[in-house]
Amino acid sequence: MDTLFKTVALIGKYKSPEIAEPLIRLGKFLESRGVTVIQDKLTAGNVEGSDFPAHSLEEIGRMAGLAIVLGGDGTMLNIARTLAPYGVALVGVNQGRLGFLTDISIDSMLDTIGAMLEGKYVTENRMLLEAWMMRGEEKLFQGLAFNDVVVHRGNTGSMIEFEVRINGLFVYTQRSDGLIVATPTGSTAYALSSGGPILYPGLPMIAMVPVNPHTLSNRPIVIGGDSLIEIIMKKSGDSMVHFDSHSHFDLKEGDCVFVRRYEKMIRLLHPHGHNYFHTLREKLHWSESF
């Protein structure tokens, strides 16, 4: 049978043995539909009995038209950052409760993905952030974030102080526990728990959300996706900058963190009839009676 995707990569949650059976079942189903199935090397090393050809994520980026991620939203975040430069479409299968990004259940995955191979899906393009840290004239760290870039005070009990500029224009000097710079995807993560707004996934916007600011008038602000944000450390303590709570780098006084929209988008595929507002109602328990 002809399908829209000739080569599909399977990527399982790291060190999750229970993913083996559904991953192998899905791979065999795809092969029965005439699809070339590959897997990433970490999955191959942790899933017993999975004998599909194994490749690095970078090789998968160059080879596959579609990557199916079996795990949760955290697994999808990690994979999305790596595959973003290659334009590979992503589909998420959740092994537990459905997530914001992994919205296909294991129980229904064969029927759902079979329909998607025939073109019955909804495409959603989502932005990422790229950030880098300068210490004087030296660039010490650079990375991508699907959810957010967070400057945080670390483990000390004292607040940090930093100056914020947008497109070179002074915005404020803030004393707080930190600052979250979030994509629309990340607006329902750490930013939401800190009082930030929910941004519709397709919007080209960035949310800046203070974490426990010293002054109550320091409120979240939403800015255009073409903005360049500078966060200049004034009093740093043992503060750090985090990328999706995954990678981090220690900050010192005088360091400057730059954040802007990454030039490429993540392409997520959802089942036909996908409704973001339904996901919000389910995950945030809207419209429930208590």
Distance (Å, rounded) from C-alpha 158 to C-alpha 167?
Answer: 29
Q: Are 235 and 216 in contact (CB under 8 A)?
A: no
3-state secondary structure 81-145: HHHHHHCCEEEEEECCCCCCCCCEEHHHHHHHHHHHHCCCEEEEEEEEEEEEEEECCEEEEEEEE
pLDDT band at residue 2 under the 50/70/90 scheme: low
Sorted by where each starts, the structural domains of the chain and their CATH numbers stand as 7-119 (3.40.50.10330), 128-263 (2.60.200.30)
- Angle, to 10 degrees, between the axis of helix 20-32 and the axis of helix 109-117? 30
In this predicted model, which residue has the larger pLDDT, 289 or 194? Answer: 194
Distance (Å, rounded) from C-alpha 72 to C-alpha 94?
Answer: 5
Q: Are 85 and 264 in contact (CB under 8 A)?
A: yes
pLDDT band at residue 289 under the 50/70/90 scheme: low
Mean pLDDT of the chain: 93
pLDDT at position 246: 79
Instruction: With H, G, I as helix, E, B as strand and everything else as coil, classify residue 156.
Output: coil
Active site residues: 73
Predicted confidence (pLDDT) at residue 57 exceeds the cutoff of 60 = yes
User: What pairs with residue 14 in β-bridges?
Assistant: none
In this predicted model, which residue has the larger pLDDT, 289 or 37? Answer: 37
pLDDT band at residue 237 under the 50/70/90 scheme: confident
User: At 142, which amino acid appears?
Assistant: Q
Distance (Å, rounded) from C-alpha 173 to C-alpha 230?
Answer: 12
**Of the listed ranges 218-222, 262-266, 286-290, the one predicted with least confidence:** 286-290
Predicted confidence (pLDDT) at residue 290 exceeds the cutoff of 70 = no
Predicted confidence (pLDDT) at residue 6 exceeds the cutoff of 70 = yes
Distance (Å, rounded) from C-alpha 47 to C-alpha 286?
Answer: 38
**pLDDT tens digits, one per residue of 182-233:** 999 999 999 999 999 999 999 999 999 999 999 888 999 999 999 999 999 9
Distance (Å, rounded) from C-alpha 287 to C-alpha 69?
Answer: 30
pLDDT at position 166: 98
pLDDT at position 3: 66
pLDDT band at residue 68 under the 50/70/90 scheme: very high
Predicted confidence (pLDDT) at residue 1 exceeds the cutoff of 70 = no
Burial, 34: exposed, middle or buried (Cβ in 10 Å; 0-12, 13-18, 19+)? exposed
Q: Which two tokens stand for residue 116?
A: 């998607």
pLDDT at position 14: 82
Predicted confidence (pLDDT) at residue 4 exceeds the cutoff of 90 = no
Closest CA to 85 of 265, 268, 246, 228: 265
Mean per-residue pLDDT, 247-254 = 91
**pLDDT tens digits, one per residue of 103-145:** 999 999 999 999 999 999 999 999 999 999 999 999 999 999 9
Q: For strands 7-12 and 178-182, give the pairing.
A: unpaired
